[in-house]
Amino acid sequence: NAGVMQNPRHLVRRRGQEARLRCSPMKGHSHVYWYRQLPEEGLKFMVYLQKENIIDESGMPKERFSAEFPKEGPSILRIQQVVRGDSAAYFCASSPPQGAFEQYFGPGTRLTVT
């Protein structure tokens, strides 16, 4: 049973470009969470999604960031017009249907903005 998959593992973008980060949850998991880890800090919640629904996006910056979890395919975190401050590790976690406490983390995508 494969774990949470994230790709790419490393992504380099120039300022002003777009970054697309992908997350495939564990089999049978319908809930996806995105977290951001800035250098020397803990993970900060960004957004919580179920298939075709954004449940909680209270941690998402208001501009340039968006997330989706379509009926088919991986969840996508999209950052438009990246800036140096977006450089961070972005982690995806998935969990089973509602009621389960556990979340399983992917290996993360390290975004570097040059």
Contacts with another protein, residue ranges (CB under 8 A): 31, 33, 35, 41-45, 48, 55-56, 59, 89, 91, 93, 95, 101-105, 107-108, 110
Q: Hey, is 85 helix, strand or coil?
A: helix
Output 3 or 76, the one with its CB closest to another protein: 3
Q: Where are the beta strands (DSSP E) in 1-114?
A: 5-7, 10-13, 19-24, 31-37, 43-50, 53-56, 65-68, 75-79, 88-95, 104-105, 109-113
Least distance in Å: CB of 110 to another protein? 7
- The residues pairing with 6 across neighbouring beta strands, listed in sequence order, are 23
Least distance in Å: CB of 12 to another protein? 16
Output 1 or 72, the one with its CB closest to another protein: 1
Least distance in Å: CB of 44 to another protein? 7
Half-sphere exposure of 9 toward its Cβ, with a 13 Å CA cutoff?
3
Output 42 or 72, the one with its CB closest to another protein: 42
